[in-house]
Structure 1
Amino acid sequence: MALLAISVFLTYYFHAILMLGTVFSHFFYIPIILTALWWEKRSILVAILLGGLVVISSLFYRPELLTLNDYGRALMFVVIAFVVASLSEQLKGREQEVKRQRDLVQRYLDVAGVLFVAIGTDHTIRLVNRHGCEMLGYREEELLGKDWFDTVVPGAFREARRQTFNEAIARKNTLPEQREHPVVTRSGDELILAWQDTVLTGDDGGPIGIIGSGADITDRIRAEEEQREAHDEANLYLDIMTHDINNANAVALGYADLLEATLDGGEQEMIRKLRNGVGRSIEIIQNVTTIRRLHSHETATKPVDLDAVIRTEIAHHPGARIAYRGKPVRVMADDLLSEVFANLIGNSIKFGDPGVEITVRIEEQDGEMLVSIEDTGVGVPDTVKPILFTRFARGTSSRSGKGLGLYITRTLIERYGGRVWVDDRVPGRPECGAAFRFTLLQSGSRQKPPAPPAPPPACRMITARP
């Protein structure tokens, strides 16, 4: 309105006072352009008003000065108003579309259950979602424009994180994997976020910032730490208990040996039962220790001398009748492979007759080693075979154990990428003894999916040797 009032005054002053009509109308472009930017198409009315003002004032004050040029200027006012108003509408339409898209993205980010933040190349926060504001304890306007590192990154990590950010911007590529990043809230609490980010690029391909997302995993990390501490404490108690029980067993065996040497008859039988009971206690402790080692961590397999492991285990049973003809061969296993042979050979001796004969065979087939431990004992009934290697599964004889040894055996073999099963030593005749078989990957071969069990080798006579 002020500009229009000035325009009226200039029209009167130039026409009535100065008797001129060629210069002042150039001023009229200012209100025409401004109203076109503000009011868009309605600015044409202002252009018509000012154009008419020029023509009418010329007719009223100096009709002899009215020329075609005056009509042309009036028409130009309308054209300028129309063009500028059209451009203004397009610009505002694009701005509204950009704003709509931005609001839509903001709504998407607000409903996300993690922190989303866009950080410019100058380290300032350009965008943050509602959950991020709630997590950090700030209002959105308190974060926008602030330096991300100075505001939410703990001081001990600030410079390192800033340097990592600058390096990512320089190479236009962020680390793809998820990391754990600490942040500090407005109240001073420190949170641990599972962080992942990516570089944002502009139309020219240059980096304009980084957008990152972070999920609060503080409670999970603390729970894991508490669980780890509880696990370590439980292991400490278990180590103490295992150590003390082993010491007590050693003392009991020592006294049993002394008593056995001084007693005879039925008393010696009682001592042997005592020794068997202590032996069971030692076996339980050994099984518990092995299971702890199995579940404490995943040990990577390595080449192991299978022949040496077998011969070492056979040497632990000097009174047993065990036949073995092997050859040096390396398989993929670890230090617990000896437990497999200790369990299987030990079972054959424990549950067989006093004269039980055991044969250990190894055979190469398709990058695997097939190991068979056959005995002439009581065998395994067909009804027991499917569950024999499950946890706490027991045989049908009175001397059956707790089932942990075979469960450990299966767990170890599967850990090495093999498979284990039990056959009849003589096909179709379980009473003639059992044949425990398992496969191991040879060193340098790749793991392959389990295949059906290989058919048992032909039965042959065993030449026992002490």
Structure 2
Amino acid sequence: MMGMKFEGREEKHRITVMAIFLAGACFLTYYCYVVLGTGRVFTHFFYIPIILASLWWKRKGLGVAVFLAALLIFSSIFFRAEVVAANDYLRAIMFIVIAFVVATLSEQIAKAEESLRESEEKYRNLYESSKDGIAFSDMQGNLLDANQAFLDMLGYTIEEYKKLTYQQLTPKKWHKMEADILKNHTMARGYSDEYKKEYIKKDGTVFPATIRIWLIKDKQGKPIGMWAIIRDIAERKQVEEKIKQYQQILEVSERASWHFSHRILSIREEEKKILSTILHDEVGTLAVALSSSLNAIEEEIKDNNLKAALKTIVKSKTVLRKAIQRLKKTAADLRPPDLDIVGLPVALREYLSNVTKQLDLKINFSMEIDEKKVPNNVAIVLYRIVQEALNNVVKHANARNMKVRLYSLGNKIELIIRDDGKGFDTGIISGGTTIHMGIRGMREMAESVDGRFHIKSAPGKGTDIHVTLPVIEEHKLWV
């Protein structure tokens, strides 16, 4: 609205000025022909309104030239009797020609200005709408201009920005590197390759960016400034860091998977050795004992010594019964009971009860869980960990009392195993000892179902084992 009012006032001003010039032309014509009677008009004054009209109104301004040419011709006819001089016609033609040339040139200039204005507006829109920062500085590093994207990155207004230097926006650790790039690349080639650096925001924080610089020269080829395109790569760097972290996690997982697979193979080999030893020791010993007993019975029957034969048979039955019990125990150790059928509480109580009958070890067992909510794979892990912990107590701890507590805590199951044995230093366990293998096996079993395993022990202080397992989702058990 303000622009339209301004244009209206300017147009009125032009018309007023033109009216004054035209009135002056009419007065000069009358004065020269009538008052002075010279028969000549001072026409140089006419060129001023002709040129102004052509500049202001382009071809529409030709009307002024035509009016003044007609004024010159008709005044020559009406105010003197002689024939119109040829130079008056020539002047009239010159008025129109000059007006046409000026109008044409003015139109071309106006079109060029409009094209330049549109081009500037297009590039200004591109400049301002770019998501990358764009900045301009002189050769001394004084900041002269920047688009809104770069101002937003830094947190400055354009007025604040122009009071700074390029060096003030750059951490000191980058100054030498950028000086080398300016000297060896930008000044030598006229541009730099894209490189990484950091910028200081208004609040003092720093953000990473990539930048590329172009040198600006004047007509004589002298450098007068530099354009730079800056891209904030903070988010990209965060993504790269996350990818790097995930790659590291993947590498660790792959190594852990390899070790876990290796551990599985080792466990299988150990179980095969145990089974081979049991078959050799138990079954082999049993076979030798029964063979010897049968031979003795045979001899006693031949000697008609039936009482001795019956006693040998009773002893053989006792040996056979004990061997069967040991084989059952071994089978239970190698393969836990079907927990889906008997349930975890029954299986653990039966197992611990059998241990206490055979050993001088008092076990306090308590359980506060809803076994229906415990996935089968989690139940197997709990059973195995209790089994392995008890084996370690029997073999290494020399404990007299042991406490096993199993209870629910939210969507997790907590298992606590505590003994009053001799304990050990958890920091100096050698990797090849059987106790270390057992602890590692328990930890691997807990972690196989996304659980946590923690052990606390010290010489003379017994051992505490704390296991936490999730019970919401089913997990695969790799044992």
TM-score (norm 1): 0.40
Q: Which has the higher contact order (CA 8 A, sep 6+)?
A: 1
Indicate the structure with greater helix content: 2
Q: Name which one, 1 or 2, has greater alpha-carbon Rg.
A: 2
